[in-house]
Structure 1
């Protein structure tokens, strides 16, 4: 048997096994951690190429051993990192605003930095563009300000810029290294918790290399959401406060979970290579798309466009 077939077989079994265990909540795996090991994946791929023409048992045993050991290391570190981020990401905003600064940022204790923009009553539409490295991002509903962010940083700092045009505002929230250069491939995790105001209609765009995103839009009017990531995990919860919602996700190696209201009509367009998908209570249409039974009659319509190379897509109703 050729070693290249064995190599890719082990890789697919590994990825499929991790996705399966995650789906049953047996493990919490950090796909963002895989990003740090991309040189190791190149090494074992190169070794596989070297031994691919060899029929010797030594070559076969070598490629199997190296691949299994490498994946075991990635699995151990990925599960460990997933547990740490699961625990550490559950920090909350203070009840008062005494520690917040109205300027773009203010340094806090324990490497915590606050960013905020005041709410202007004339703002009806707001766009939030997020460019991040290997980070954990959370979004939830806020009350008083247009935008709040609390960042637990490592090597990265963030830059917040606001541009107003009539009744619209564009917020750019971008990571940069301590040396001042912008970067969204940093391998050191930052933890970012954001709040957006419930009054404007929002467009939210996220681009990151690796990491996690947990966005709860159930209390916000959100019309467009764009997600782009390499090795990432996305958990998105949509509400029923806006009647025409569009969400697109373009991923490499990712786990994408979207929750939609039971009353909403939803249509899914999916384009994937070796990705898995779970669309419970959706009907597959002749054009390859998926629809809820109430899509044509529902007042609220949600359009999902999902693209991935080797990803897991799941859409659930609540």
Structure 2
């Protein structure tokens, strides 16, 4: 069995067991804190790469799974206990003053031919799609987020920057939600899509949008990407993530190249994909034509790619 599969199996078993113990109140877990020991994961990841003995590699992956489960559980348990009766405010002074946003939109100018988009979202739950008849629409729930939005025009090109500036969490609000939706117009060609998030649940559905480069940076996250066919000349997707689960859906007829570089993790690809030197290729890959290139770099990640 691969070290990545052992890691994820042991991780989920350990995390589930810890939560079961907590729910049954067998022991008091409130005073334990292990977050300072996270560098041990890096040490064990290095061992998995350097040690050739498969028994040692598999054992190290299993221990790392237990360690990550304990760090997440005990750190998260203490954090939420301490914050249970307070309000939390995130402010990023480097991103301007911003304005409270519940619904913000801008009409589409048909002279816009290409777009560079930067979206810095912070933490929370995010949905991005490309079905808007406006240039863009930002919609939030009652989470009192402030955004700065800047649209710089130069001829037929737009440089659109959307950044989360302030985020208030009222822990006493039992109906609290934290969803942010961004809807884009699919008509322009998107030269660059730069998406940056922290601890987030991220859903990106851009199957109707054409782009050249997509870069996604996330922390601890759950991410789902629905991608289109590659644009003329090819499209590239680069994902940099922390401890994450990533699901990527590509069109059945797409020509795809997938490269993964993860310290600890596992990747699954559609049936028929061929692996050569650590890179996966779709059955119709010939080295020419419009290729959808996907590169994933992460620490502890579980990646699933599906074709449909």
Normalising by structure 2, report the TM-score: 0.66
1:190 to 175, 178, 192: 178
TM superposition shift of 1:189: 6.7
TM superposition shift of 1:74: 4.9
TM superposition shift of 1:152: 1.7
Q: Which residue of 1 aligns with 2:197?
A: 208
Q: In structure 1, what is the Cα distance between the partners aligned to 2:160 and 2:146?
A: 16
TM superposition shift of 1:141: 2.4
Q: Secondary structure at the match of 1:273?
A: strand
- Deviations along 1:249-270, one digit per CA (max 9) or x if unpaired, are 0011011111111111100111
* Change beyond 3 A, Cα 1:70–1:262: closer
1:276 to 254, 266, 274: 266
Retained in 2: the 8 A contact 1:14–1:71? no
Retained in 1: the 8 A contact 2:38–2:71? no
Q: In structure 2, what is the Cα distance between the partners aligned to 1:278 and 1:207?
A: 24
* Change beyond 3 A, Cα 1:257–1:12: closer
* Change beyond 3 A, Cα 1:231–1:269: same
Retained in 1: the 8 A contact 2:34–2:74? no
Retained in 2: the 8 A contact 1:126–1:200? yes
Retained in 2: the 8 A contact 1:263–1:298? no
- Deviations along 1:69-107, one digit per CA (max 9) or x if unpaired, are 9738959x99xxxxxxxxxxxxxxxxxxxxxxxxxx986
Q: In structure 2, what is the Cα distance between the partners aligned to 1:119 and 1:167?
A: 12
Q: How does 1:94-113 map to 2 (within 5 A)?
A: 113=102
Retained in 2: the 8 A contact 1:218–1:237? yes
Q: How does 1:286-297 map to 2 (within 5 A)?
A: 287-296=277-286
- Deviations along 1:297-317, one digit per CA (max 9) or x if unpaired, are 775410001001101111110
* Change beyond 3 A, Cα 1:241–1:219: farther
Normalising by structure 1, report the TM-score: 0.64
Tell me if 1:253 matches 2:243.
yes
* Change beyond 3 A, Cα 1:69–1:195: closer
Q: Secondary structure at the match of 2:260?
A: strand
Q: In structure 2, what is the Cα distance between the partners aligned to 1:69 and 1:229?
A: 19
Q: Secondary structure at the match of 2:130?
A: strand
Q: Secondary structure at the match of 2:112?
A: coil
Q: In structure 2, what is the Cα distance between the partners aligned to 1:196 and 1:177?
A: 22
Q: How does 1:1-150 map to 2 (within 5 A)?
A: 15-17=11-13, 40-42=33-35, 71=73, 74=76, 113-150=102-139
Q: In structure 2, what is the Cα distance between the partners aligned to 1:302 and 1:201?
A: 16
TM superposition shift of 1:194: 1.3
* Change beyond 3 A, Cα 1:164–1:228: same
Q: Which residue of 1 aligns with 2:58?
A: none
